Amino acid sequence: MEFMSFLVRRVAYSIFVLIGLSMLIFTIVRVMPGDPARLALGARATKEAVQELRDRMHLDESLPVQYYHWVKDVLQGKLGISLWTRREVSIDISRFLPATLELVLFAALIEADVRILLGVIGTRYRNTWVDNTLRVGTYFAVATPAFVVAIFLSLIFGYMLKVLPIVGRLDPSVVAPPVRTGLITVDALISGNFTAFIDALKHIIMPAIALSLGGMAQDARITRSSMSDNLLKEYIAVERAQGIPPRVINLKYLLKPSLIAPVSVLGLDIASMLGNAFMVELVFGWPGLSQYGVEAALRKDLNAVTGVVLVIGLVYLTINILVDITVAYLDPRVRLR
Amino acid sequence: MTYITHSRLSKSVDTFREVWYKFSKNRLSIVGLLIVLIITILAAFAPYIAPYPAHAGRFVNFPEASQPPGSRHLFGTDVNGRDILSRIIYGYRFSLMMGVFVLALVVPIGVTLGLIAGYFKGTLIDTVLMRITDIFLSIPPLVLALAIASVLTPNLTNAMLAISLSWWPWYTRLVYGLVSSLRNEFFVQAAKATGASTPHILFREILPNCVSPVLTKMSLDMGWVILMGASLSFVGLGVQPPKPGLGSMIADGTQYLPDSWWMVVFPGIAVMIVVLGFNLFGDGIRDLLSEEEA
């Protein structure tokens, strides 16, 4: 019961924040200098055409009235026409979003596993050369921008060693699986197309690593330090005295409480992944929402920019709710608050 | 909490030797300090240090285009024949400028809002300010900065503005947390009882106790602001050509991979080093300022 009310309050607050975000992005887009209608139609459009679009967008009304009309459209799924693709923005988004979700999902999976592994290794061999090498390595990994990692990876594994593909989600020679979820790896597995599955994995591995490396390094440090702190706790000493094998102590009694800190920062990590996806997708020609967003931003395609920001805000809020639930599972004390 | 008297910071600068001892206990902090110093000097004296100062602008020298690293051009040249080392040194100029301007804009605004919201905790002022802060934090900062930069004309000033608009809430939230617990301390009650004005209590009594955490965050944030600036510049929303932005140099170079690898690799390493330097330096500042609170 307690948990349900915690969840309801959490979701209600997220809806409030999302409404606030929509006002924020609406204000940013509408307050900018210049006429959105003129921008949409281009310099060669006639005065009458511009005025007609101004009327349709309610641009001569006050800002709150404009917002009211805009929200009415958005709730019906109408985000406006993209100036760049000339399609309804919501259609573009539904086409590009799965690629970005797949990428961020893979990056999060890689990050969550590897950082725990690195943290455990660091604790197991603490203050030896293994630990020190890991520590120096994490400093470099944290400081390198994701897009630089992306380029260095593609330079080494794509151009020099030629073991991994550099561009796109799937090789043109491979038959694409029928679209079900939009995540190519999942679709390929559903249809039993293993060639496509392997090829999709090969394509996603480098961008996913590039996205996850910085957060992974930072969290490996957090995991290691929280494990090392817990190692000194009395309950561990008691378990040792009782003769429980070290492996069981490490994995069962040490790891779970030590995961709380790193899981609660996962939300922040995903924030940086969603941001960095803009650059990494550009490097790997990954046809995702972020690449669409950058293209839209550079072309001042304001409907598309607004749509992309709202969708990313929605994804981010949802992930944060999931993270909170996971933390509540790992740490019962959180639920009582 | 431990921020009770506000004479701590002034005590800590008593002796330079003591400060240096605390800062230098971690060797990596010294490495960070050295990197920060070297890059600051490079940026400040770029016209005297860069081997080819003219190459930082609109300059074309086709006979020397796309040269690999060699004795004439240590880091090679770009497709226009411009010396990459010189452009990196000038790129550092824009990067540092960006870090300094963004923090100079963001810290006073964010800290003031956090002071006010924390001091009036539980009132309407607190609710409004902190809910607005939450809204700004509900989207990844880089996404918000990209969105803001996209509606403005792409250039350095607007990139700084865009980053600032997405950065201030972090300071508001930090200071809000500190003030929420400080407002019940005796020295605040005492100041109130003697009839001190609200601005006096906020800025003379409470603010000095927030200095250490804010300074620590600032020193760490320099690196992150520079990284975000490089990201915007990589996308094309930062420093505009022919001026050298570290991010845009990398973006330009990717077209000529893998043959002209030096156009990408050296600017990439340059970004990494400046961020690394400020991270290590910031860790040192944290060690220095947090130890005296323990």
pLDDT at B188 over 80: yes
Asked if the structure places residue B62 within a domain, the reply is no
With contacts defined as CB-CB under 8 Å, which chain A residues touch B150?
296-298, 300, 305
Q: Is B230 on the interface with A (CB under 8 A)?
A: yes
Q: Chain B residue with minimal CA distance to A272?
A: B140
User: Please, which residues 192-221 of chain B have a Cβ atom closer than 8 Å to chain A?
Assistant: none
Report the residue of A10, A151, A156 to disrupt the B interface, i.e. the one with the largest count of B CBs within 10 Å: A151
In angstroms, rounded to a whole number, what is the distance separating the alpha carbons of residues A276 and B140? 9
Percent of chain B with pLDDT strictly greater than 90: 47
User: Please, which residues 1-30 of chain B have a Cβ atom closer than 8 Å to chain A?
Assistant: 28
Q: How many folded domains does chain A comprise?
A: 1
Asked if the structure places residue A37 within a domain, the reply is no
Four-residue CA torsion sign, A19, A24, A27, A29: negative
| C-beta atoms surrounding A138 within 10 Å | 22
pTM of the predicted structure, to 2 decimals: 0.87
Asked if the structure places residue B59 within a domain, the reply is no
DSSP lists the bridge partners of residue A81 as: A88
Q: Is B150 on the interface with A (CB under 8 A)?
A: yes
Asked if the structure places residue A45 within a domain, the reply is no
Q: What pLDDT score does B97 carry?
A: 94
Q: Chain A residue with minimal CA distance to B273?
A: A143
Q: How close A307 gets to chain B, by Cα (Å)?
A: 11
Asked if the structure places residue B70 within a domain, the reply is no
In B250-280, which positions are buried (b, 16+ CB within 10 angstroms) versus exposed (e)? bbbbbeebeebbbbbbbbbbbbbbbbbbbbb
Q: Chain B residue with minimal CA distance to A304?
A: B147
pLDDT at B243 over 50: yes
8 A C-beta contact, residue B245 and residue B238: yes
Q: What is the ipTM of this complex?
A: 0.85
With contacts defined as CB-CB under 8 Å, which chain A residues touch B148?
28
Q: What pLDDT score does A333 carry?
A: 67
| Beta carbons of A278 and B235 less than 8 Å apart | yes
pLDDT at A298 over 80: yes
Q: Chain A residue with minimal CA distance to B227?
A: A145
Asked if the structure places residue A174 within a domain, the reply is yes
| Beta carbons of A139 and B135 less than 8 Å apart | no
Residue B221 domain boundaries: 34-50+76-293
Helices B84-119 and B124-137 pack at an angle, to 10 degrees, of: 150
With contacts defined as CB-CB under 8 Å, which chain A residues touch B223?
143
Q: Chain A residue with minimal CA distance to B231?
A: A279
Asked if the structure places residue A12 within a domain, the reply is no
Contacts of A24 (CB under 8 A, 6+ apart): B135, B136
pLDDT at A206 over 90: yes
In angstroms, rounded to a whole number, what is the distance separating the alpha carbons of residues B287 and B227? 23
Asked if the structure places residue A262 within a domain, the reply is yes
Report the residue of B28, B146, B246 to disrupt the A interface, i.e. the one with the largest count of A CBs within 10 Å: B146
Q: Is B257 on the interface with A (CB under 8 A)?
A: yes
Q: What pLDDT score does B10 carry?
A: 54
| C-beta atoms surrounding B249 within 10 Å | 27
| Beta carbons of A143 and B275 less than 8 Å apart | yes
| Beta carbons of A309 and B147 less than 8 Å apart | yes
Q: How many folded domains does chain B comprise?
A: 1
Percent of chain A with pLDDT strictly greater than 70: 96
- Alpha helix (H) residue ranges in B14-137: 16-24, 27-44, 46-49, 84-119, 124-137
- The model's pLDDT over A147-199, given as tens digits with 9 standing for 90+, comes to 999 999 999 998 888 889 888 888 888 888 888 888 888 888 888 888 889 99
Asked if the structure places residue B210 within a domain, the reply is yes
Report the residue of B26, B135, B170 to disrupt the A interface, i.e. the one with the largest count of A CBs within 10 Å: B135
Taking residues A313-328, what's their average pLDDT?
85
pLDDT band at A38; cut points 50, 70, 90: confident
CATH of the domain at A222: 1.10.3720.10
User: Please, which residues 277-306 of chain A have a Cβ atom closer than 8 Å to chain B?
Assistant: 278-279, 282-283, 293-294, 296-298, 300, 302, 305
Residue A219 domain boundaries: 96-299
Asked if the structure places residue B112 within a domain, the reply is yes
Asked if the structure places residue A67 within a domain, the reply is no
- The model's pLDDT over B93-151, given as tens digits with 9 standing for 90+, comes to 999 999 999 999 999 999 999 999 999 988 999 999 999 999 998 888 888 998 888 88
With contacts defined as CB-CB under 8 Å, which chain A residues touch B280?
139
CATH of the domain at B97: 1.10.3720.10
Asked if the structure places residue B271 within a domain, the reply is yes
Q: What pLDDT score does B293 carry?
A: 47
Asked if the structure places residue B16 within a domain, the reply is no
Asked if the structure places residue B23 within a domain, the reply is no
